[in-house]
């Protein structure tokens, strides 16, 4: 077992917190956030000391109809400028670009003409070459980049090792361990984190973690990864994110010991905005059906339908899913 | 760091699961469960393969008015017989006896005249001598016994070591690590588990874990303790328990690999009974206010009031609590 990095009394200066509320949370409301929400979130992130704020996806308007989504599905530079101005702060702006869903040659322009600092390229293990092309483009345009390999619980170890090697040799600044299905236990997260760190250490690159809360393990998995050396930590306000959601910002900032992190601004944001979203009917967070798809290492889509339909027949759902 | 016990592909025969739904869940509804609930829970526990079912507290009728509580606050032997008959099964019956709240000399009679197999003696660190007396009485009456040291996050290490030594020398079969305030992180649970195990190994006794979900870490902490050798694992249906509740039975049985454990009966019980309790207004489970008392290592009572009053001013609550 690798030695522990850091302890519960001190803090590590290499840790960076990424607020992914708009991006992962947008999957719950088709990115229809009002501007006041986004402005207050920006202020909250500034006050709470987090390092990055993800504004959404850089999705292609050729593939997705702008009339069916809020603007943060597309993250036009102008829309971000509207919120952050020149962003003369320590808070960096990031966006996510999905392989195969982003017209990056057209939409991701020179960083000097954009409010964006970091582009996170999201890929499955079988589209790594396309991800590397996107990373090379974004790096050439001047951006920081990460490669987020989704659904890692479905990937084979030998493929993962090769993907990590490709990322190591690319201009990417970091690779993300992404437990898309919320199916991994802390023990597995620790082993994968050690594998990612070992590969990235060779190239002087960072490792990040993006956890899902299907088994109520998103926070535990995030701090487990952190304890062995993972340094980019994703969280969202009240855990807002697809299905069971993510590691909650309020959990994570309550845990981290760096005095730069402030919990009260986050608590005020929950009170002012997140509770209201829930009252307005936006749904996310742990439910029994998510536990079951997580347990079965499956995409949560069936559990999302189950929850929306207000079904309670968990045993039937589990047996049906287990036979797929 | 101690070596890991067991792995994710095999199972350990020493593991025993304890269903504490009635006992810890009873704190949410003053033990007013109907008989159908209790009978179905007994059947569910039989079918799902758990080892122990806790029926409630053995509280003294001199101290608590029976008109203000359901019968499982008192656990008369006759009431348990009514449910389990001669209990000619592999499922053992247990009750909890609180130091200072149990008239054990009167109410805990010879095991041969009782349906109870295991008495769990609950104590704070400063009432250990009284706990040992109760354990000695119960052991003399023929029962298995455990000593559950509550609120361990408030105890000093040297006191804890002495308490463990007292338990080691007593007739108790096991000691429980109890995170009453849900304030401990997995790393702390691991360290405490190793300390408990090291002390108990000397005497050939078992260690158990009872976790609370204030920081959504009850399941993670339970499996963390398990991974270093803790073998008695408490869980409740849908996590029902005081405040943020406990490790959920459905999480735990989804994790354990022993084929004797069956998840579907638990899922049917959730569907038939637990969802109904919630609809009837019984409250338990993770809420932001519990995260905050957990983070501050405090009793959850202020958070329970906050939640009942449907307050949303988390930042104010946090600042008020932090100044106590």
Q: Is the pLDDT of residue B196 over 70?
A: yes
Contacts of B263 in chain A (CB under 8 A): 318
Residues above pLDDT 70, as percent of chain B: 99
Q: State whether residue B247 is helix, strand or coil.
A: coil
Q: What is the mean pLDDT of chain A?
A: 97
pLDDT at A1 over 80: no
Residue B186: list chain A partners with CB under 8 A: 186, 220, 223-224
Which residue does chain A place closest to B7, by CA atoms?
A187
Structure tokens that stand for B158 in this block: 């040297």
Q: What is the mean pLDDT of residues B160-179?
A: 98
Mean pLDDT of the region B257-282: 97
- Provide the 10 A C-beta neighbour count for residue A202: 11
- Per-residue pLDDT at B324: 59
| Overall average pLDDT of the B93-101 stretch | 98
Looking at beta carbons, which residues of chain B come within 8 Å of A220?
Answer: 186, 216-217, 219-221
Residue B322: what pLDDT?
A: 80
Interchain pair B186, A264: CB under 8 A = no
At A45 the pLDDT is 98
* pLDDT at res. B3: 77
Integer Cα distance of A101 and A104 in angstroms: 9
B306: pLDDT strictly greater than 70: yes
Query: What distance in Å separates the CA atoms of residue B150 and residue B181, rounded to the nearest whole number?
Result: 9
pLDDT tier, A3 (very low <50, low <70, confident <90, very high otherwise): confident
Quote the pLDDT of residue B4: 87
Mean per-residue pLDDT, B235-261: 98
Nearest to A270 among B219, B265, B288 (CB): B288
Closest CA to B53 of B76, B31, B83, B29: B83
pLDDT at B29 over 80: yes
Q: Which residue of chain A comes nearest to B297, CA vs CA?
A: A254
- pLDDT tens sequence across B200-227: 999 999 999 999 999 999 999 999 999 9
CA distance B268 to chain A (A): 6
pLDDT beyond 70 at A123: yes
CA distance A83 to chain B (A): 25
Residue B309 Cα, gap to closest chain A Cα (Å): 15
Average pLDDT over residues B35-56: 98
Is the pLDDT score of B2 beyond 70? no
User: Mean pLDDT lowest for which of A42-46, A237-241, B3-7, B201-205?
Assistant: B3-7
- For residue B71, pLDDT over 90 is answered with yes
Q: Does A324 have pLDDT greater than 80?
A: no
Q: How far apart are CA A286 and CA A243, in angstroms?
A: 8
Alpha-carbon distance of A38 to A264, in angstroms, equals 18
CA-derived radius of gyration, chain A = 19
* Record: contact A270-B314, CB cut-off 8 A: yes
Q: Which two tokens stand for residue B302?
A: 């202020």
Cβ-Cβ contacts under 8 Å, B221 against chain A = 220
d(CA A170, CA A205) in angstroms, rounded, equals: 10
pLDDT digits (tens, 9 = 90+) for A14-40: 999 999 999 999 999 999 999 999 999
Return the closest-CA partner of residue A26 out of A288, A323, A320, A284: A284
User: Hey, are the CB atoms on A8 and B223 less than 8 Å from each other?
Assistant: no
A87 CB-near residues (< 8 Å, 6+ apart):
A93, A115
Q: What is the 3-state secondary structure (H, E, C) of chain A?
A: CCCCCCCCCCCCCCCEEEECHHHHHHHHHCCCCCHHHHHHHHHHHHHHCCCEEEEEECCCCCCCCHHHCCHHHCCCHHHHHHHHCCCCCCCEEEEEEECCCCCHHHHCCCHHHCCCCEEEEEECHHHHHHHHHHHHHHHHCCCEEEEEECCHHHCCHHHHHHHHHHHHHCCCCEEEEECCCCCCCHHHHHHHHHHHHHHHHCCCCEEEEECECCCCCHHHHHHHHHHHCCCEEEEEHHHCCCCCCECEHHHHHHHCCCCCCCHHHHHHHHHHHHHHHHHCCCCCCCCHHHHHHHHCCCCCHHHHHHHHCCCCCHHHHHHHHHCC
**Packing angle between helix A77-84 and helix A35-48, nearest 10 degrees?**
60
Question: Which residues on chain B place their C-beta less than 8 Å from a C-beta of chain A?
Answer: 1, 4, 8, 185-188, 213, 215-221, 223-224, 227, 238, 248, 250-251, 254-255, 263-265, 267-268, 270-271, 275, 286, 288, 291-292, 295, 312-315, 318-319
Across the interface, of B1, B217, B254, the residue whose CB is closest to A220 is: B217
The residue of chain B with its CA nearest to that of A226 is B187
Chain B residues within 8 A of A319 when measuring between CB atoms: 264
Cβ-Cβ contacts under 8 Å between A and B: the total is: 114
Looking at residue B194, what is its pLDDT?
Answer: 97
Contact across the interface for A213 and B216, Cβ inside 8 Å: yes
For residue B19, give the 3-state DSSP assignment. Answer: strand
- Token pair 């990115």 is at which residue? A31
Q: Do B186 and A186 touch (CB under 8 A)?
A: yes
pLDDT band at B28 (very low <50, low <70, confident <90, very high): very high
CB contact (8 A) between residue A8 and residue B268: no
**What integer is the mean pLDDT of B61-86?**
97
Q: How far apart are CA A135 and CA A121, in angstroms?
A: 7
B286–A313 C-beta distance less than 8 A: no
Q: What is the pLDDT of residues A261-277, one digit of tens each?
A: 999 999 999 999 999 99
pLDDT at A88: 97
**CB-closest option in A187, A188, A314 to B270:** A314
Contact (CB<8Å) A254/B291: yes
Please list the residues that pair with B285 across neighbouring strands: none
Q: What is the pLDDT of residues A4-19, one digit of tens each?
A: 899 888 999 999 999 9
Q: Using beta carbons and an 8 Å cutoff, which residues of A are at the interface with B?
A: 1, 4, 8, 185-188, 213, 215-221, 223-224, 227, 238, 248, 250-251, 254-255, 263-265, 267-268, 270-271, 275, 286, 288, 291-292, 295, 312-315, 318-319
Q: Do B215 and A254 count as a contact with CB atoms less than 8 A apart? A: yes
């Amino acid at each position: 077992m690798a030695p522990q990095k850091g302890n519960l009394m001190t803090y590590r200066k290499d840790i960076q917190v990424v607020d992914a509320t708009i991006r992962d949370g947008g999957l719950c409301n088709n990115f229809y956030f009002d501007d006041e929400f986004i402005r207050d979130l920006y202020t909250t992130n500034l006050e709470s000391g987090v390092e990055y704020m993800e504004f959404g996806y850089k999705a292609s308007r050729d593939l997705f109809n702008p009339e069916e989504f809020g603007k943060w599905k597309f993250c036009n530079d102008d829309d971000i400028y509207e919120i952050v101005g020149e962003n003369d702060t320590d808070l960096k702006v990031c966006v996510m670009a999905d392989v195969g869903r982003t017209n990056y040659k057209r939409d991701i322009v020179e960083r000097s003409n954009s409010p964006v600092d970091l582009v996170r390229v999201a890929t499955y293990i079988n589209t790594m070459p396309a991800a590397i092309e996107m990373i090379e483009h974004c790096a050439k345009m001047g951006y920081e980049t990460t490669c987020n390999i989704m659904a890692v619980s479905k990937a084979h170890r030998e493929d993962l090792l090769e993907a990590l090697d490709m990322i190591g040799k690319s201009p990417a600044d970091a690779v993300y361990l992404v437990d898309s299905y919320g199916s991994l236990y802390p023990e597995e997260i620790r082993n994968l984190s050690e594998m990612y760190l070992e590969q990235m250490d060779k190239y002087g690159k960072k490792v990040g973690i993006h956890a899902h809360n299907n088994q109520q393990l998103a926070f535990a998995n995030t701090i487990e990864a952190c304890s062995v050396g993972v340094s980019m930590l994703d969280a969202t306000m009240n855990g807002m994110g697809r299905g069971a959601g993510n590691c909650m910002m309020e959990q994570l900032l309550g845990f981290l010991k760096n005095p730069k992190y402030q919990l009260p601004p986050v608590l005020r944001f929950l009170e002012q905005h997140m509770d209201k979203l829930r009252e307005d009917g936006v749904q996310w967070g742990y439910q029994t059906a998510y536990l079951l798809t997580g347990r079965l290492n499956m995409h949560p889509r069936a559990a999302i339908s189950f929850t929306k339909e207000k079904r309670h027949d968990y045993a039937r759902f589990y047996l049906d899913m287990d036979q797929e």
